[in-house]
Amino acid sequence: MAVYTAPLRDMKFVYRELFNGDDLQKLPGYGDFSPDVVDAVLEEAAKISQEVLFPINRSGDEEGCTFENGVVRTPKGFKDAYDQFTAGGWTGLGAHQEYGGQGAPKALNMLVEEMICSANMSFGMYPGLTHGAYNALKLYGTEDQKQLYLPKFADGSWSGTMCLTEPQCGTDLGLVRTKADPQADGSYNLTGTKIFISAGEHDLTQNIVHLVLARLPDAPPGIKGISLFICPKFLPKADGSVGPRNGASCGSIEHKMGIKASATCVINFDNAKGWLVGEKHKGMRAMFAMMNTARLGVGVQGLGLSEAAYQGGLLYARERLQGRALKGAKFPEKPADPLIVHPDVRKNLLTMKALTEGMRALVMWVSTSQDLAEKAATEEERTRHDDLIQFLTPVVKAFGTDIGFDNANIGVQIYGGHGYIREHGMEQYVRDARITQIYEGTNGIQALDLVGRKMTAHYGRYMRAFFHPVQAFIEENAADPKMEEIVLNLAKAFGRLQQAVGAVAQKGLSNPNEAGAASSDLLKLLSYVSVGYMWAKMAKLAFSKEGDDPTGFYKGKIKTARFYMTKLLPQTGALLSTILAGGETIMDLEDELFSAAVAA
């Protein structure tokens, strides 16, 4: 059956040992987050995730949300769990202290988010959307807007959404039709329909605050004519309490493949009162602040589901007796050996373990860089860390969600037929994980973002924030006998990445379709190298701790690093071959020939 125990030992390893997270305490505003406090936060987050959120994950999936007379009700137990969640201060963990939050480092907050996603991804959607709305208003809201809304977001009494998608537009937000008509009092009347709005209506909070993309009457066409508005479900009174109902209402909820306990809504705006956030026609700038946070968060969702699937698969492989080990019975006193003795099952488990732990390290690198991009002492250092975030955000989002889905599928495979049955809990992970590859920009969009924006920005400056430390690591450790195998494999893959980037850049200059055709493969190649770099760093650290390893933790790191380098990282060779083959065969088939066999 599905199980979850927060991987605190590994979380503390990547936070404290791999990326010196305790040094974040020295940054402005983080002084309260001593090692003891960080440990306490992680341990308490593990408790609420394991004891409160995980027990209602399956029941929430089976019951789902209900919609009746414009009211959405979350499944049994969700309201009580949310009340415990807010009472514990978890909605304000990453919020600034001036708005009633705790001001925790983003790196610490990411680890807590992972636990929530492992335990109950649907539940995590509600505070997760609020956190994104908080970030957008913190950056672009007026002082009055910040004072009104941010404390409510921080204490969890109000929640937030992001309202982008409409029936005729998803990725292409330049097609947005929702209108915003200016009023004499400085407000705007919003009219239009938004779809696929996560947490758009529910019974967990006193108020729901929508951040809405809409067009002003004088808006220029396309993406340059989009403005952002804040539109609460209930209009706030002068004292900040909940007032009369606004003209924003839920028309229906979607019946989905997964995350069924998260309400996905159609929201209708019928002359709903809203207020401009930021500048007119500059709404995408503010929305991208929210979206970039969300993209990293979605990558963490994939990581969380990957960890949960791994734990479930590992438990079953240890307990399920099937067949005998190929070299002879390992447990002759039992009627059969456990699944874990079989090479193919071990390969599956190691794949899950290597990808999950490698992605956790990559997320920690990026989230630590988020803290330093905001608070480092010099502008040069802040810029360097922000460049790394920009470059690796598509990797975290796309590869994090790909491994979440793939590992959930592997978990089902380890269970065999029992994995396909609901009572064991593994099939839910597959269904829940599938959406992560789609929302907040499909993984194909992440690939286009990589080749179209991130590689070319500032004459390749974003790339250099990643390429330079990887190259330096290879050069510094190539002569270390213990690291020889690991560094050699990383160097080969890194060389393939450099060759692929050069080829795509050259071909893309004359034919944009070439860059587009190679984009997904290039993103995956970069992802494997990124995680490979993390494993090389973890292996080096583990080798230094071999003499003090009573539990075998560091020994496990070294052996898993070797597996990743020899069994998973070589996939970069095939990806390079595919990239160098070019895009001709993709674009050559005439549109009408896609259906030629059907017509015949």
Look up 98 and say whether it is catalytic: no
Domain assignment of residue 190, given as a range: 158-283
Clarify whether residues 139 and 168 are in a common domain.
no
- Per residue in 83-94, pLDDT (tens digit) is 999 999 999 999
- Output the six-digit token pair for 562: 């070797």
Flag whether 115 is in a domain.
Answer: yes
Helical pair 283-319 and 379-415, crossing angle rounded to 10 deg = 40
Flag whether 415 is in a domain.
Answer: no
Integer Cα distance of 75 and 44 in angstroms:
24
- Per residue in 453-497, pLDDT (tens digit) is 999 999 999 999 999 999 999 999 999 999 999 999 999 999 999
Clarify whether residues 580 and 449 are in a common domain.
yes
**Cβ atoms of residues 81 and 261 within 8 Å:** no
Of 233, 253, 283, the last residue of a domain is: 283
Flag whether 291 is in a domain.
Answer: no
**Cβ atoms of residues 411 and 310 within 8 Å:** yes
Clarify whether residues 78 and 170 are in a common domain.
no
* Residue 290 amino acid letter: M
What does the DSSP 8-state code read for residue 454? I
Clarify whether residues 115 and 75 are in a common domain.
yes
Integer Cα distance of 388 and 109 in angstroms:
19
Q: CATH code at 70?
A: 1.10.540.10
- Per residue in 187-228, pLDDT (tens digit) is 999 999 999 999 999 999 999 999 999 999 999 998 899 999
Clarify whether residues 134 and 173 are in a common domain.
no
Flag whether 414 is in a domain.
Answer: no
Which residues of the chain have a pLDDT value below 70?
599-600
Helical pair 512-544 and 461-477, crossing angle rounded to 10 deg = 40
Flag whether 138 is in a domain.
Answer: yes
pLDDT at 175: 86
Clarify whether residues 97 and 197 are in a common domain.
no
Task: Give pTM, 2 decimals.
Answer: 0.97
Clarify whether residues 199 and 262 are in a common domain.
yes
Clarify whether residues 42 and 99 are in a common domain.
yes
Clarify whether residues 117 and 52 are in a common domain.
yes
- Per residue in 118-130, pLDDT (tens digit) is 999 999 999 999 9
Identify the helix (H) or strand (E) that includes residue 218: none
Q: Which of 114, 307, 427, 440 is catalytic?
A: 440
pLDDT at 600: 54
Flag whether 420 is in a domain.
Answer: no
Q: CATH code at 176?
A: 2.40.110.20
SS3 320: coil
The number of domains in the chain is: 3
pLDDT at 174: 77
- Output the six-digit token pair for 98: 């001036």
Of 89, 117, 143, the last residue of a domain is: 143
pLDDT at 293: 82
If 0-12 CB within 10 Å is exposed, 13-18 middle and 19+ buried, where does residue 29 land?
A: middle
Flag whether 540 is in a domain.
Answer: yes
If 0-12 CB within 10 Å is exposed, 13-18 middle and 19+ buried, where does residue 252 land?
A: middle
- Number of neighbours of residue 522 by Cβ within 10 angstroms: 24
Please give the mean pLDDT across all residues of the chain: 96
Of 283, 307, 336, the last residue of a domain is: 283
Flag whether 514 is in a domain.
Answer: yes
pLDDT at 565: 98
- Per residue in 354-369, pLDDT (tens digit) is 999 999 999 999 999 9
**Cβ atoms of residues 38 and 46 within 8 Å:** no
Clarify whether residues 171 and 271 are in a common domain.
yes
β-strand pairing of 227-232 with 264-277: antiparallel
Clarify whether residues 189 and 79 are in a common domain.
no
CA distances (Å), 227 to each of 163, 198, 266, in order?
A: 12, 20, 20
